[in-house]
């Protein structure tokens, strides 16, 4: 703002008289409002504004709280630390752009692996009553932290540099946080990480990442209580919304996700994978998911219990350039740690278990209902030998197959730890719903529409496909829509429950509709 005071004159004609009113605009900021321009920020996309933005935030905190204005412009910055009682108002037309220089970021004292690094663009730690909003953009400048990538080679996983900005936004040990009406763009890795925090609301947020960016998670919820995620649009590479409990976090409890639209190259809605503490009381509902390798997934492993999970009103498709896509994948198994790395139980001795108390993972009380999927793959539900998933219900499930992908040909090359590595028979079972080692399994109203044409639809014919866990490329042959034939259900060692799905049929008359062995699972046929 120019240091000259501005006086604006208004002329009002009232009853034949001229009345002059003056409005004096001071160079002093409005009380409680702190514009970063007043602290020297320059929105030219080149000037480093870390100090100016931080001074505005610190001044607001010193005043007992306030609104920090990021006006239209592009403001390059390193790490910004949010403080108590702050509203970071990133206005429409404004962008906070992450610096391309790793030395412009404050290196924190943590940094556990390639995803949770000690470098962040927005950092909030041990603070309360903060809001990030305004309609503007926070851009992590992700490509600056990636290895060279040729888009002509897509689909391919982009490789990161050793040091990167991940998570882009770290909310740690905070209370009463609102993130709303902002666009978060590609960071170096994870985008938004909520860690050991309470009373979190994420609403009307867009997250737009490259679909093959390195470990580009959308929202990770680690060890948090009382979280709502609603009305968001997320397009990203790795898991879009993921609940987890790492070895250094608390349990995760009372989380609801609703009314979101998601596209991702991995799991759209996911629980677990790192589940060393408990995850419970979670609802996921009213979401539309497209072009995603997995719509919903649970991976209970290591030590935590995952329980009391309700999933409802999901419409999805798995039209993604990966092999072995699954609309639903639920997995229970033990993993172990050595030197901070996780391994499957069969390749390491039992005395290497991660949890010092010797706890094992548990998975129970899961209900999935009103789930509509267009897919070439399978619903895959497995517990490793010696373990049992407890109390699992699938109700009102409709699967439509543009084509049937044969799970067998590439099965030995599917190296991902998130592909039931301890259940080889289930991995290659030819059925729409595959279930192994479950206590009390209920399947009601499964309906399947098998391929209506002999040809694979053009928009499902990816010339090249890739796989989780490898850099391998695959070149499928789309010579016919039915690469194999499927039963409706393949089940092994199911103890209790029932199947009531009179409309379910195998893909042809030579296959059993229900291929069930070693199970006490009655089939109600009326």
Least Cα distance to 41 among 31, 28, 54 occurs for 54
Q: Per-domain residue ranges for the chain? A: 31-238, 272-526
Number of neighbouring beta carbons within 10 Å of residue 207: 27
| Predicted local distance difference test score (pLDDT) of residue 356 | 52
Q: How confident is the model at residue 186 (pLDDT cuts 50, 70, 90)?
A: confident
Global pTM value: 0.91
| Predicted local distance difference test score (pLDDT) of residue 357 | 57
Query: What does the pLDDT average to over 283-309?
Result: 95
Q: How confident is the model at residue 11 (pLDDT cuts 50, 70, 90)?
A: very low
More confident residue, 376 or 468: 376
Percent residues over pLDDT 90 in the chain: 80
The yes-or-no verdict on residue 23 having pLDDT over 60 is no
* Tens digits of residue pLDDT in 117-135: 999 999 999 999 999 999 9
| Predicted local distance difference test score (pLDDT) of residue 275 | 81
The yes-or-no verdict on residue 288 having pLDDT over 70 is yes
Phi/psi at 38 (5° precision) = -70, -10
The yes-or-no verdict on residue 321 having pLDDT over 90 is yes
What is the rounded average pLDDT for all residues in the chain?
A: 90
211 with 265: CB under 8 angstroms?
yes
Strand residues in 26-91 grouped as ranges (E): 33-35, 44-48, 66-70, 73-77, 80-81, 86-90
Least Cα distance to 180 among 202, 148, 155 occurs for 202
Same fold, 31-238 and 272-526: yes
| Predicted local distance difference test score (pLDDT) of residue 243 | 97
Query: What does the pLDDT average to over 81-107?
Result: 98
Least Cα distance to 277 among 241, 199, 225 occurs for 225
Candidate from 73-82, 337-346, 467-476 with smallest mean pLDDT: 337-346
298 with 326: CB under 8 angstroms?
no
- Give the Cα separation of 86 and 483 in Å (integer): 57
* Tens digits of residue pLDDT in 221-234: 999 999 999 999 99
According to CATH, what is the number of the domain 272-526? 2.160.20
CA dihedral sign, ordered 113, 119, 125, 131:
negative
- Give the Cα separation of 37 and 54 in Å (integer): 12
82 with 124: CB under 8 angstroms?
yes
Helix, strand, or coil here: 103?
Answer: helix
| Predicted local distance difference test score (pLDDT) of residue 9 | 33
Query: What does the pLDDT average to over 43-65?
Result: 98
Q: How confident is the model at residue 274 (pLDDT cuts 50, 70, 90)?
A: confident
| Predicted local distance difference test score (pLDDT) of residue 112 | 67
Three-state SS letters, 119-173: CCCEEEECCEEEEEECCCEEECCHHHHECCCCHHHCCCCCCECCCCCCCCEEEEC
Query: What does the pLDDT average to over 388-417?
Result: 93
- Give the Cα separation of 52 and 96 in Å (integer): 12
Q: Distance from CA of residue 464 to its chain's centroid?
A: 25
The yes-or-no verdict on residue 409 having pLDDT over 50 is yes
Which class would CATH give 31-238?
mainly beta
Q: How confident is the model at residue 181 (pLDDT cuts 50, 70, 90)?
A: very high
């Amino acid at each position: 703002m120019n240091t000259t005071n501005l006086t604006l004159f208004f002329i009002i004609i009232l009853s034949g008289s001229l009345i002059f009113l003056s409005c004096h605009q001071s160079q002093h900021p409005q009380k409680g409002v702190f514009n970063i321009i007043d602290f020297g920020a320059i929105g030219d996309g080149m000037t480093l504004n870390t100090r100016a933005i931080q001074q505005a935030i610190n001044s607001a905190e010193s005043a007992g709280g306030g609104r920090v204005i990021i006006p239209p412009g592009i403001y390059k910055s390193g790490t910004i630390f949010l403080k108590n009682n702050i509203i970071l108002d990133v206005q429409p037309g404004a962008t906070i752009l992450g610096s391309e220089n790793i030395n412009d970021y404050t290196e924190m004292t943590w940094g556990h692996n390639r995803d949770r690094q000690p470098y962040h663009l927005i950092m909030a730690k041990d603070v309360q009553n903060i809001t990030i909003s305004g309609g503007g953009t926070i851009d992590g400048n992700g490509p600056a932290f990636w290895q060279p990538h040729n888009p002509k080679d897509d689909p391919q996983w982009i490789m990161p540099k050793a040091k990167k900005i991940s998570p882009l936004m770290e909310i740690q040990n905070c209370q009463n946080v609102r993130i709303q009406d902002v666009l978060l763009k590609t960071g170096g890795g994870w985008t938004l990480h909520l860690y050991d925090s309470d009373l979190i609301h994420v609403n009307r947020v867009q997250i737009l990442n490259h679909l093959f960016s390195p470990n580009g998670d959308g929202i990770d919820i680690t060890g948090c209580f009382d979280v709502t995620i609603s009305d968001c649009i997320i397009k990203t590479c790795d898991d879009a919304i993921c609940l987890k409990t790492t070895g250094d976090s608390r349990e995760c409890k009372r989380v609801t996700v609703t009314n979101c639209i998601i596209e991702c190259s991995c799991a759209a809605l996911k629980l677990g994978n790192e589940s060393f503490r408990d995850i419970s009381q979670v609802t996921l509902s009213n979401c539309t998911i497209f072009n995603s390798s997995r719509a919903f997934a649970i991976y209970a492993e290591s030590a935590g219990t995952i329980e009391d999970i309700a999933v409802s009103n999901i419409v999805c498709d798995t039209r993604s350039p990966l092999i072995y896509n699954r609309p639903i994948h639920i997995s229970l198994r033990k993993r172990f740690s050595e030197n901070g790395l996780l391994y499957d139980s069969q390749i390491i001795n039992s005395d290497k278990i991660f949890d010092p108390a010797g706890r094992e993972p548990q998975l129970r009380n899961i209900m999935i209902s009103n789930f509509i999927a267009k897919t070439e793959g399978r619903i895959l539900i497995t517990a490793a030998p010696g373990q049992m998933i407890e109390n699992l219900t699938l109700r009102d499930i409709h699967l439509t197959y543009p084509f049937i992908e044969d799970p067998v040909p590439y099965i030995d090359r599917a190296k991902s730890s998130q592909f039931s590595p301890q259940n080889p028979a289930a991995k290659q079972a030819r059925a729409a719903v595959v279930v192994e080692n479950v206590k009390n399994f209920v399947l009601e109203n499964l309906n399947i529409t098998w391929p209506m044409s002999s040809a694979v639809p053009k928009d499902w014919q990816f010339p090249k496909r890739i796989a989780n866990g490898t850099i391998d490329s695959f070149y499928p042959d789309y010579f016919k829509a039915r690469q194999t034939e499927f039963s409706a259900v393949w089940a092994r060692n199911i103890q209790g429950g029932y199947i009531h799905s009179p409309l379910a049929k195998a893909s042809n008359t030579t296959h059993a509709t229900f291929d069930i062995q070693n199970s006490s699972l009655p089939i109600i046929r009326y």
